[in-house]
């Protein structure tokens, strides 16, 4: 069953030495398996093909083997260096090769030992494979079988000889003897090994899953076994058959006129696909649900599925090379989008010739086209599928301000590179977002980039960008144009009437083009505002000058900027000036000192300067005003403290414009720290110098009280003065004769409740 060969021209020969049949491009496989239906390109000259469950073995003319299809059990792993092969056979998931020296090589699934060739097996002339067993016919007419034997399919009947052909079914085995009779063993659950009574004159056998087929010498066919799909019901009147092949659930008969008759299960289309085929060289059923057919002329392409707009290479193959003068083979394509030359020339003695296949870029989802080769009145074909252009678009920015300096771009993608330029159409749903009408993606590329231009919009706009090709929409995407908006500020917002400020219109994005923003003045009698402010390209804001007039009280003047149709209003506060914001005075000071206070204005003084009124309370004195020069914000003034006997609180008040600020200052009394004499023992009648020291420096002349304990012996003035800018002062002590005995006299200095003294000794 699984030893399917595309030719059994002489099945009774002891060795299947098949003539070279054709390059692989003449091989067609029909049915349900994508694993095996796509024959490899440039397979070369093939002598024999065997079809397994979902894999194929091709024996090439040079004795090497090519495999393709399902690979899950390594059934396609042809052993390295395998050569000298004269026949191949397949089980469901294993592979067999017979070498010219009569030995067998096997690979693939080996769960029942079906790929483990018996040691010492030689002299083999034919091989066959079942689902999980393998069979070999030896040159002496005996049979050897190995692998799964659950139904005795490997139990060769004792004494079986004179065998000229073997066949392996799913789980049964058959042998054709030289006398044209058949022997079968293994499973008989569907009667597949129950040979019809009187069957003789058989020249070929084939085994299916659970049915058996025999070809008789008169060209008729006999079948028996499982019949659930009518695979064992031979069509009435079938004659002239050259070979038979039993598949999984179907049967194939190849007739001497090159026609093919098949019956049984056709759910996968392997039988109906044979309709209209030109005369074939042979046909076999696959162990699965396939049929392989060898045609005298083949037309193929290197790639059966390409992107529209792509190119591929076509190839015409002739089983019989043309004679002198060569042969012109007519070519055509079913679809107008597929282009081939009118003819292709096959040189004398050659089997193949190639030709270019070009295609148009398409927008339709998928185009399938047959490519035809015509020779001898027969048409041969292959199929080419074109995938349409599909594409997408993607912006570099999904949202941006219309009319701004943003430079969004649109990337355009196609699903694969084409062999020629592809021009696609672009469209925007809003004219304020402009894209080119089309863009071209060069051959070999998959992406293009276009710039988008945009204008100012009054409100947020969702814009749909559409990519299309030849009228078919490929992709859409949405972007959002945001409106231009602005704010209006003044620096400063609060100004003294008669001074100026600066207005600033700030936009939410820098402008691509210059723009004039209209300005409206809410009270032209108090503010001077220009009619508009210009914002230059590349900027996102503009300044404008604002002047004011003097006011006697607080005034609020609205100013409006109209940005993109939207009014933005901010009020300027005018105040009577100057306005004082800070008054600085010391926290405390000692009496008879001059300390510094200062005033700070909110804004620089206008031309001509500003006068701030000052007043006081308590034991201090201040000037009535302090002057702040033009352009300055701060000025200082003196605070003179009075001589106090005890700590007292004072207050400084500054008034500027409508603002009055008062700050307290504590005046502390001046105190003594020391009194000293230049000598402490003198003779009466001499003078002594005394020195008084204060705790702090004084900026006003300060009077100190002096007393003597005995003025008649040592006399001092009632007071002394410490001069401004100093903390010490001196006084003179006049002494007199004390009499017969020396006198000690206490000299005392007093100030604000503090006193210091020193004792002076006056000698006679």
Q: What is the pLDDT of residues 226-245, one digit of tens each?
A: 999 999 999 999 999 999 99
Q: Is residue 14 part of a domain?
A: no
pLDDT at 15 over 80: no
pLDDT at 137 over 60: yes
Final residue of a domain: which of 294, 310, 331? 294
Question: Any idea of the CA torsion for 363, 367, 373, 374, to the nearest 10 degrees?
Answer: -100
Query: Does residue 567 sit in the same domain as residue 588?
Result: no
- 164 or 493: which leads in pLDDT: 164
Please, which pLDDT band fits residue 636 given cuts at 50, 70 and 90? very high
pLDDT at 497 over 90: no
Q: What is the pLDDT at residue 35?
A: 63
Query: Does residue 568 sit in the same domain as residue 584?
Result: no
Final residue of a domain: which of 269, 294, 319? 294
Place of tokens 């796509």: 38
Interatomic CA distance for residues 470 and 363, integer angstroms: 6
Query: Does residue 351 sit in the same domain as residue 211?
Result: no
Final residue of a domain: which of 294, 326, 346? 294
Q: Is residue 54 part of a domain?
A: yes
- Residue 740 CB: number of other CB atoms within 10 A? 6
Query: Does residue 187 sit in the same domain as residue 74?
Result: yes
Q: Is residue 5 part of a domain?
A: no
- CA-wise closest residue to 510 among 594, 427, 401, 586: 401
Q: Is residue 2 part of a domain?
A: no
- Could you tell me the two tokens for 283? 């046909």
Interatomic CA distance for residues 495 and 502, integer angstroms: 10
Residue 533: which residues within 8 A CB-CB, separation 6 or more? 503, 505, 516, 517, 519, 542, 543, 544, 561
Q: Is residue 13 part of a domain?
A: no
What is the residue-wise DSSP string for 470-509? Answer: TTEEEEEEEEEEEPP-EEEEEESSEEETTSEEEEEEEESS
Query: Does residue 446 sit in the same domain as residue 496?
Result: no
Query: Does residue 130 sit in the same domain as residue 224?
Result: yes
The per-residue pLDDT for range 698-757, each reduced to its tens digit, is 999 999 999 999 999 999 999 999 999 999 999 999 999 999 999 999 999 999 989 999
Any bridge partners for residue 269, and if so which?
none
Q: Is residue 10 part of a domain?
A: no
Q: Could you give the number of structural domains in the chain?
A: 6
Average of pLDDT values for 27-49?
73
What's the whole-model pTM score?
0.53
Q: What is the pLDDT at residue 372?
A: 95
Average of pLDDT values for 583-591?
96
Query: Does residue 78 sit in the same domain as residue 200?
Result: yes
Interatomic CA distance for residues 626 and 164, integer angstroms: 137
Query: Does residue 87 sit in the same domain as residue 189?
Result: yes
The CATH number of residue 556's host domain is: 2.60.40.10
Query: Does residue 104 sit in the same domain as residue 150?
Result: yes
Average of pLDDT values for 107-121?
98
Yes or no: say if 734 and 714 are a contact pair by the CB < 8 Å rule: yes
Query: Does residue 147 sit in the same domain as residue 229?
Result: yes
- Could you tell me the two tokens for 386? 């074109």
Contacts for 212-221: CB closer than 8 Å, 24+ residues apart: 212/167, 212/169, 212/172, 212/174, 212/184, 212/246, 213/244, 213/245, 213/246, 213/251, 214/182, 214/244, 215/241, 215/242, 215/243, 215/244, 215/253, 217/180, 219/256, 221/253
Query: Does residue 347 sit in the same domain as residue 424?
Result: no
Average of pLDDT values for 669-674?
94
User: Torsions phi, psi of 671, nearest 5?
Assistant: -130, 155
The CATH number of residue 67's host domain is: 2.130.10.30
User: Torsions phi, psi of 475, nearest 5?
Assistant: -165, 150
Length of the chain as a residue count: 764
Yes or no: say if 421 and 389 are a contact pair by the CB < 8 Å rule: no
- Could you tell me the two tokens for 376? 């001898």
Query: Does residue 267 sit in the same domain as residue 190?
Result: yes
**Poorest-pLDDT segment among 56-70, 277-291, 518-532, 654-668:** 277-291
The per-residue pLDDT for range 177-198, each reduced to its tens digit, is 999 999 999 999 999 999 999 9
Average of pLDDT values for 433-457?
95
Residue 34: which residues within 8 A CB-CB, separation 6 or more? none
- Asked if the peptide bond before residue 652 counts as cis, ω within 30 degrees of 0, the response is no
Average of pLDDT values for 467-488?
94
- Could you tell me the two tokens for 19? 């003539």
Domain range for 465: 391-482
- Could you tell me the two tokens for 533? 């402010």
Q: Is residue 340 part of a domain?
A: yes
Q: Is residue 4 part of a domain?
A: no
């Amino acid at each position: 069953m699984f030893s399917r060969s595309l030719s059994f021209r002489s099945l009774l020969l002891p060795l299947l030495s098949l003539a070279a049949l054709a390059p692989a491009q003449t091989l067609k496989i029909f049915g349900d398996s994508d694993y095996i239906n796509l024959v490899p390109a440039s397979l070369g000259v093939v002598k024999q093909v065997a079809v397994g469950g979902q894999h194929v073995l091709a024996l090439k003319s040079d004795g090497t083997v090519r495999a393709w299809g399902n690979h899950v059990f390594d059934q396609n792993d042809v052993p390295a260096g395998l050569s000298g092969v004269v026949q191949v056979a397949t089980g469901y998931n294993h592979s067999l090769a017979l070498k010219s020296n009569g030995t067998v090589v096997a690979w693939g699934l080996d769960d029942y030992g079906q790929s483990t060739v018996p040691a010492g097996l030689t002299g083999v002339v034919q091989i066959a494979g079942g689902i999980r067993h393998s069979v070999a016919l030896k040159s002496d007419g005996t049979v050897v079988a190995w692998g799964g034997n659950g139904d005795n399919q490997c139990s060769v009947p004792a004494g079986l000889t004179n065998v000229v052909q073997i066949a392996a079914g799913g789980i049964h085995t058959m042998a054709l003897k030289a006398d044209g009779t058949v022997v079968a063993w293994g499973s008989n659950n569907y009667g597949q090994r129950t040979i019809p009574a009187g069957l003789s004159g058989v020249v070929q056998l084939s085994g299916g899953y659970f049915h058996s087929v025999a070809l008789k010498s008169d060209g008729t066919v006999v079948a028996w076994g499982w019949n659930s799909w009518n695979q064992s019901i031979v069509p009435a009147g079938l004659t002239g058959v050259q070979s038979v092949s039993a598949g999984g659930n179907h049967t194939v008969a190849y007739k001497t006129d090159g026609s093919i008759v098949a019956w049984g299960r056709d759910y996968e289309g392997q039988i109906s696909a044979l309709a209209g085929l030109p005369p074939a060289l042979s046909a076999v059923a696959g162990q699965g649900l396939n049929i392989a057919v060898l045609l005298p002329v083949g037309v193929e392409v290197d790639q059966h599925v390409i992107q529209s707009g792509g190119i591929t290479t076509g190839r015409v193959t002739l089983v019989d090379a043309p004679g002198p003068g060569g042969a012109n083979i007519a070519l055509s394509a079913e679809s107008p989008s597929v282009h081939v030359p009118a003819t292709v020339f096959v040189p004398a003695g050659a089997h193949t010739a190639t030709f270019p296949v070009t295609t148009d870029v398409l927008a339709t989802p998928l185009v399938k086209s047959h490519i035809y080769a015509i020779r001898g009145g027969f048409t041969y074909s292959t199929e080419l599928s074109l995938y349409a252009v599909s594409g997408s678009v993607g912006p570099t920015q999904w949202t941006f301000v219309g009319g701004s300096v943003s430079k969004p771009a649109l990337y355009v993608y196609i699903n694969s590179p084409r062999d020629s330029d592809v021009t696609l159409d672009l469209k925007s749903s809003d004219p304020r977002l402009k894209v080119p009408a089309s863009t071209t993606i060069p051959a070999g590329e998959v992406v293009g980039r276009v710039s988008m231009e945009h204008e100012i919009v009054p409100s947020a706009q969702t814009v749909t960008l559409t990519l299309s090709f030849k009228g078919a929409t490929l992709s859409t995407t949405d972007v959002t144009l945001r409106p231009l908006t602005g704010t209006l500020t003044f620096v400063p917002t609060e100004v003294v009437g008669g001074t100026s400020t600066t207005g600033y219109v700030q936009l939410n994005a820098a402008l691509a083009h210059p723009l004039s923003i209209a300005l409206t003045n809410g009270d032209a009698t108090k503010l001077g505002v220009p009619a508009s402010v210009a914002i230059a390209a590349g900027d996102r804001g503009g300044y404008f000058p604002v002047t004011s007039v003097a006011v006697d009280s607080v005034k609020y003047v609205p100013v409006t900027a109209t940005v993109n149709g939207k009014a933005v209003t901010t009020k300027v506060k005018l105040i009577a000036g100057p306005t004082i914001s800070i008054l600085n005075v010391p926290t405390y000071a000692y009496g008879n000192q001059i300390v510094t206070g200062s005033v700070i204005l909110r804004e620089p003084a206008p031309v001509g300067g500003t006068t701030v009124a000052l007043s006081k309370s308590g034991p201090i004195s201040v000037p009535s005003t302090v002057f702040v020069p033009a352009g300055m914000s701060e000025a200082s003034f003196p605070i003179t403290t009075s001589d106090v006997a005890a700590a007292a609180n004072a207050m400084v008040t500054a008034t500027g414009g409508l603002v009055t600020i008062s700050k307290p200052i504590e005046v502390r009394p001046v105190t003594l720290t020391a009194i000293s004499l230049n000598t402490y023992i003198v003779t009466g009648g001499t003078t002594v110098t005394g020195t008084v020291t204060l705790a702090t420096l004084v900026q006003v002349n300060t009077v100190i009280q002096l007393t003597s304990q005995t003025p008649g012996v040592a006399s001092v003035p009632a007071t002394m003065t410490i001069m401004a800018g100093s903390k010490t002062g001196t006084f003179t002590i006049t002494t007199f004769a004390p009499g017969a005995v020396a006198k000690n006299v206490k000299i005392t200095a007093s100030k604000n409740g503090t006193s210091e003294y020193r004792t002076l000794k006056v000698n006679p």
